[in-house]
Structures are given as C-alpha cells and as structure tokens.
Chains A and B, each alone.
Chain A
Amino acid sequence: MAVTLECRDLGFTYQNLPVLDGISVQIHSGRFCAILGRNGSGKTTLLHCLNRILSPDTGKIWVHDQDIQAMDPKKIAQQISLVPQEHLDFFPYRVLDVVVMGRAPYLRMVQRPDRSDYQLARKALCFLNADYLAPKNFNRISGGERQMCLLARAVTQGAGIMLLDEPTNHLDFNNQYHLLTAMKSLCRSKNISIVATLHDPNMAALFADDLILIKKGGILAQGPVGEVMTQTLVSALYETPLGQVSIHGHKKLFFPQTVLTGLTDRIETKDTIK
C-alpha cells in the first residue's frame, strides 16, 4: 500500500479569500478515498490543486515522490486522471471518440489516435459494461451514461491516480450505486488510487476505504472510514446533529436527528403542511 500522491501544508486563496489552508494528505494505491464536506468547503479546489489545474499558493505536492511543480503537463496526465463535475455540451462527438481522448497524454502534439488507441478505449468501455455506448452521441445520452463515458476515458488514460469530482451528482438512485461499484472494482482490480468528492456521507460509508473531512478549507479529520466515520465528527462536519443507524453490525449510516426522531414519533406535519 504505497503512497501515490501526497500534499503537505497546501494553501490556496482566491481573490484574497482563503479557500484551502494547511491541507496535508496522503493517498494510497488500491484505496478508495472519499472527500466529504459541505458546499463551498473547498473540495473541488483541493482536487484541482492535486493535479495542478490550479496552482496552490503554499505547500507542496508529490506524485510518486516527484514534485508536481517540476513535472511536464503530459507527465502529470499520465499519472493522474480527472473525471470532472461539469458537463458542458461539446461538439456532438461519439462516445468512443470522447473515450479515446484519454490517450492524449501519450500522443505527440501532431499525432492522432490509431487503431491500438481505439482498442484501449473499447476495452475501457467493456470493462465498465458500457460498450453499447460507443457509437452514441455524447450529447444525447443520460447523465449516468456520460459519467460512465468519462470514467471510461479516465481508465483509458491509464493513470495510477484517479480524481473524481462529485461523480454521483445528477445520477438516479440506481446509477449512483452502479457507478460507485464500478469505481470500487476499478480501484481493487487495477490497484488504482481513487480520490472522489462525495455529497452523501452514507455513500462514503458504504464504498470508501479512507475519508478526508474538509471544513471551511481545513481538514477536520482524516483516516480509515472505521475511525473517522463517527457521530461526533460527521455531525461537526455538516453542522447538524446526526443520529446513526447500524447495518451489518460494523457499517454505520447517518441521518439528521430530526428525521430519525420524526420516524419514531410519526410525522406530525400533516396538519401544518396545508
């Protein structure tokens, strides 16, 4: 379980407002690390700092013990892939053409992907059971399918570290589990480090190995899920009193206290709603 990505004392300010401050984390190979935090806590900024889309103001980042500042953009992209949150429509590319773009960091400036690159792209789609998407127009598929397509692109990129920015956003109930299961199996079978920001602490409890809790740009707690996922810490993170429900004995899920008590007392909102 080697350290693949490490940052120490990371700080980032945007227009004089501190967004991140004193962030130090270690990411390990073959582990799924979830970043939790409220909206605007700096999760996305942290992800973008980790692959140098943003340059932090203070602190250092190492990718496999190499200082990221000294690395060529292509080299970074060979080590770290990103599944972005935004889904801007672009030209009506075929899904396969979007997936094959994952090969870009290995191609020379004027090179175009050849047959072997397309084969890798197809293999990635097959791996995610999404081969049927290959000929479709990227702009005309569902949010879940797009997420699969971008995940396949990250697989094609062949990097040992994969960053995902709220991958379950906009996905329906079923697709969220489908995607996270796919990510987890990717992480295990290819020994990839996965770092994903998530909105739902229960998803993190079910799928992640490690957790990083971010509050107001700083780290509230980090470590293995079993240690960090406690009622006190998660309540502090979301600034809401939470109650916990145990499943299978060792996993804990969290819900706002008000909801849990509401369930037991019968919901008395019937009259007030009118």
Chain B
Amino acid sequence: MVRRRPFSIKAKGTLLALTLLLAIVFLASVSMGRVFIHGADLFTLVVNFISGNGTPLDLLSQELVFWWIRVPRCVMAILVGAGLAISGAVYQALFRNPLVSPDILGVSAGCTFGAALGLVSPFDSFYLVHVMSFGFGLAAVSMSVALARLIGVKAVMILVLAGMVVLSFFNALLMVLKYFSDPYEQLPSIIFWVMGSLSRVTWDNVLVMAPFTLVGIVLFIALGFRLNILSLGDIQAQSLGLSPVLFRRLLIVASSFMVAISVATCGQIAWIGLIIPHMARAIAGPGHERMIPITALLGAIFLLTADTIARTLSTAEIPVGIITALTGAPVFGYLMIKNRGSGWL
C-alpha cells in the first residue's frame, strides 16, 4: 500500500526548488538591463547598504539604478505575478471552470476604464489614475455580483454571465473614451495602460501593494483545503458543513481586491491568471492545499522573467503584457493537450 502524506517530501522539494529558482531569476533580473550590474558590484551594493557605508563613486549610478529602479520593479513583478496567478487559481475553483481567469467578473475591464478616465480627465495626476482604476474595478465586480443576485437562480452560472455583461459594458465605455480622446497625447497612454507595464513602478507602489498581496497569498494558502470543498459545487459543499454563498463572497471580494490593486498599478497583464494555475496543477496535482503555494511561486517567476525580457530585449521597452500573452497562449494550448483525458478539460 502506498502511503502518501498530505504534504510529502516531494511536495516540499518542489516548493524549495521553485523558491531557489525565483531567487536566481531575481538576481539575474536586477543585474540585467541597460546598465549592467556585475555580480561583484551587486554584492558590494548590498553589503554597503546593510553596513551603512557610503557607496564608492564609480558605483553611484549603479546604486541609483539598483535601489530605486530595479529592486522595486522586480519586487513588484513578484507581487503582481503571484497575486494574479493565485487569484486565477481561486477563481477557477470558485467557478469550477478551467477557462476562468480573474477578469471574468469584470475587474480588469473596470480598472482599465477607470484608469483611462483618469488619464483623459483634465486633472491628470498619477494618484487620480490609480484611485479611479481601483474604484472602477471594484465597482465592476460589485455590479456583476449585484446583477447575479437580482437574477437569483443557478448561482455560479449566472455569476459568470453577469460578469460578461458588466465586462462588455466597461469595454464599450473604454471604446467610447478611446474614440473621443486626443490621438497624440491621451490615446497612446491608454493603449500602453491596456497592455500593461511595470516601467513606472516606485517604492511607494510597492509599499501600497505588498501588504494586500501578502495578506491575500497567506489567506488563500490557509484556505486551500476549503477551496477543494467549494470546488465540488454548492450542494456537496453545504453537506460538508461549508456555507458556499458566504465563502464565495469572501473569496470574490479578496481576490478581486488583489487583482484591482495590481491592475491599478501596472495595467492589464494578460494570461497569468489563466495559465499559471494550470501549470501548478500539472506539477502539484489539483488539490488546492498543495497547488496554491506552487501557483504563487510560478506566477512570480513567470512575470519576473517576462518583465526582464520586456526591458532587455530591445532598447525601447516592450509592454510586458505583450510578452505574457505571446508566451501564455501557446503554453496554454500545450497544457490543454497534455491534460486531455483527465476528465476536466
């Protein structure tokens, strides 16, 4: 008889290996870019920072790039990648559907419209854009949930349909804005936003983002087993002592919050929420208590890598959303072929 502990040595090994990989990608990423920082210099910079010594003059520009541009950007990539991926996994469990991604209830569409409205408004300010984006994102989800409640029957199915209604509505509003915006100034910035980019990330953003994302990640890892129960459907969940309606609402609010805050900071970064959970399942199996931590790590590695490519591939920066979509689509196709016959795809 094969005995397998709930958290086997193999699972721990996978976690450790992915954490190491993330560390390596992080180190590679902070040293690469227009200003290349060698390993030795990197070491000096970190040691000087810790010991509080001044930086040698010849490293001054590297220091600025390192501490004020690269590190916050890479940390942000990790937070956003992990956050989007984990929200995707949670949404797929909630809706029992492998094709669901966190934007299904209109979060991203709402956020993008909010940001675009902020960009074309006469009081264009960086913070206004973020606040508007975040507010409209949550408003969109609330609309989907409210609409679904008004209809009432077949909770999950109707929620998805209500989400599509809201999503299309905000996309239409976005088109209106694009049509009427100034094609030389405003339109490009809207389009840049839609494609998603980490290029303007500052420490301030990271400090706002980090607590929410970390709390979300810890929460979802802790609730992993409950997600398994919920993914059986409402009747079975209830017969196992879990109130599906209450729990679903909690999870929708928490994960929408995570998505809204990352779209409000970095724009729409496609595909992560959809494919990373599938990759994690291929590695760790479908049990959420095992796959959620893997999802977070894979999401972080994926976005960090994609962002590094986005800013090093050419002299002009490519929006990272393009990289994630270009790699995400074929990877998803491959995963579908690989998982055929599991009875789920």
Chain A interface (Cβ < 8 Å from any Cβ of B): 48, 51-53, 73-78, 80-82, 84, 86, 88-94, 97, 101-102, 104-105, 107, 109-115, 117-118, 131, 135, 137-140, 157
Contacts and interface: CB of A to CB of B under 8 A. Distances in A.
Interface in B275-318: 281, 285-287, 289
Contact of A84 (B96, B229, B236, B342): B236
A110 B222 contact: yes
Interface string B120-159: 0000000000000000000000000000000000000000
B231 A90 contact: yes
B242 A107 contact: no
A82 B236 contact: yes
B23 interface: no
Top 5 A-B pairs ranked by shortest CB distance? A139-B343, A77-B241, A82-B239, A91-B286, A105-B241
18 contacts: A48-B235, A51-B239, A73-B238, A73-B241, A75-B241, A77-B239, A78-B241, A82-B235, A90-B231, A91-B228, A91-B231, A91-B281, A104-B225, A105-B241, A107-B225, A109-B222, A138-B343, A140-B341
Given A90-B231, A140-B343, A112 B224 contact: yes
Contacts of B240: 77, 101-102, 104-105, 157
A92 B342 contact: yes
Given A88-B96, A105-B241, A111 B225 contact: yes
A13 to B, nearest CB: 15
B232 interface: yes
B226 interface: yes
Given A73-B241, A102-B240, A93 B286 contact: yes
Contact of A93 (B96, B228, B235): B228
B222 to A, nearest CB: 4
B239 A110 contact: no
A91 B289 contact: no
Contact of B96 (A52, A77, A90): A90
Given A73-B243, A91-B281, A102-B240, A114 B235 contact: no
Contact of B239 (A75, A84, A114, A140): A84
Contacts of A102: 240
Interface string B197-237: 00000000000000000000000001111101101110110
B287 A84 contact: no
Nearest to A122: B1
Contacts of B2: 135
A51 B236 CA distance: 11
B6 interface: yes
Contacts of A82: 235-236, 239
B344 interface: yes
Contacts of B285: 94
Nearest to A76: B241
B274 to A, nearest CB: 15
Contact of A101 (B93, B228, B344): B228
A196 to B, nearest CB: 15
A92 B243 contact: no
